[in-house]
Structure 1
Amino acid sequence: MSMAETGIDGRIGDRVRALRAERGLTLDGLARLADVSRAMLSRVERGESSPTAQLLVKICGGLGTSLSALFAAAEAPASGPLSRRADQPTWRDPESGYVRRNVSPPGSGSAVEVVEVEFPAGGSVSFENRRVAGADQHVWVLDGVLELEVGGEAFRLEAGDCLVMRFGVPVAFRNPSARPVRYAVIVSHGRARP
């Protein structure tokens, strides 16, 4: 079954399996690196599981890639330089309920990826954000309030605020309000400016 014929869970599974093969890893090898069970990893690869964001971050850490890069690669083939909102793939984390929309055009080859997130009222999620070589991310709040704990340091972001976060430290997202928060995550896979 091609990636175009499967749902998002199937496309994610296809991409995880392809990245694992590219790196010469067995299921057991990746399960060990990602600190997840072989059975769970197998279910993800077969598209039989709706993996949580926490699980996907662990798998990405074992593969040495970012969650954003995994989703971008699991999208449809390149469609040109324009990404219309109606065509932008979305994914809902089954645990926290946050909705992630890949805004960047797929297959553009750009070193920057833009993701829009809508985080439900009172929601929270934590990640063991493993290091991704040459990558960092900006979290830019578009509407609402977002509390973050990055490597033990607490931040409160309101509309218009932007925080640079490095990969490689634990991070926790929390929406303390009674309404959803909407924010953009901009991931750069390029070099830092002087």
Structure 2
Amino acid sequence: MSNIVDPLVRQIAARIRDEREQRRWTLAQLADASGVSRAMINRIERAESSPTAVVLGKLATAFQIRVSALLTPSEDATGGAPDSGREQVTGVRRMADATEWRDPATGYRRRQITGPRFPADIAEVRLPPGARVPYPAASLAFIREVIWVLDGRLTFHEGDAVHELDAGDSIEVDEPVPHVFANTSDAECRYALIITRVERP
């Protein structure tokens, strides 16, 4: 078995540890706040385990930050001085430089489109056939989102309601209820996720 660790797994590990230490939380305190076990958090912070999409959602909720913040280095997400150079000045983000994260449980892939300083969090998601990604209501308490299907078909569960969304369809979600993103088709589904934070759940 290879001991090589994906650089993004190391980056996520450092980001979660930094967020926890900034708040002076113990592993037990973060476990209580997030609902993720202390043992799992410890493995993630040591880069021994890659968190799933659901776990990332729970940890982001505990920290009251966006999931995308856990996918970016600490210095980029905390208001540090921007790097000099044409890319920063023009705001151009090359596809080759984009952060893409893969959920080890489902194969769900998320490519970040906007940077941490942009007021909305925009990501491109690719959901493989048969994949199902649930999020508890608590992970959505301080956000509002738009899901816009770009290719394929998405079955989106919003609480007790089920929405079948085809390419070009979109839905605005304003209530913090349990969500499930499911692909019940035999082809990949690609959608854009646009998220903004709100002051109240």
Q: Taking structure 1 as the reference length, what is the TM-score of the superposition? A: 0.85
Q: Which residue of 2 aligns with 1:40?
A: 40
**1:94 correspondence with 2:101:** no
Alignment partners' CA distance in 2, 1:82 and 1:167: 33
Alignment partners' CA distance in 1, 2:175 and 2:25: 23
Alignment of 1:141-160 (within 5 A): 141-160=149-168
Measured after TM superposition, the shift of residue 6 of structure 1 is: 7.0
Q: Which residue of 1 aligns with 2:29?
A: 29
Task: Name the SS for the 1:28 alignment partner.
Answer: helix
Task: Name the SS for the 2:48 alignment partner.
Answer: coil
Task: Name the SS for the 1:16 alignment partner.
Answer: helix
**1:63 correspondence with 2:71:** no
The one-letter amino acid of 2:195's match is V
Instruction: Please say if residues 18 and 74 of structure 2, whose CA atoms lie closer than 8 Å, have aligned partners that are also in contact.
Output: no
The one-letter amino acid of 1:127's match is Y
What do the CA deviations read for 1:41-80 (whole angstroms, capped 9, x no partner)?
0111121111111111122222222323322x33884562
RMSD across aligned C-alpha pairs, in angstroms? 2.2
Instruction: Please say if residues 102 and 109 of structure 2, whose CA atoms lie closer than 8 Å, have aligned partners that are also in contact.
Output: yes
Task: Name the SS for the 2:16 alignment partner.
Answer: helix
Structure 2: gaps spanning 5 or more residues:
77-81
Question: Which residue, 187, 190, 193 being the options, matches 1:185?
Answer: 193
- Gap change, CA 1:144 and 1:6, over 3 Å in 2: closer
The one-letter amino acid of 1:9's match is V
Alignment partners' CA distance in 1, 2:110 and 2:165: 19
Question: Which residue, 95, 114, 126 being the options, matches 2:122?
Answer: 114
Alignment partners' CA distance in 1, 2:57 and 2:174: 14
Q: Which residue of 2 aligns with 1:170?
A: 178
Q: Which residue of 1 aligns with 2:79?
A: none
Instruction: Please say if residues 151 and 171 of structure 1, whose CA atoms lie closer than 8 Å, have aligned partners that are also in contact.
Output: yes
Q: Which residue of 1 aligns with 2:73?
A: 74
Alignment partners' CA distance in 2, 1:29 and 1:87: 35
Alignment partners' CA distance in 1, 2:118 and 2:198: 9
Runs of 4+ deviating beyond 6 Å? none
- Gap change, CA 1:123 and 1:40, over 3 Å in 2: same
Q: Which residue of 2 aligns with 1:14?
A: 14
The one-letter amino acid of 2:106's match is S
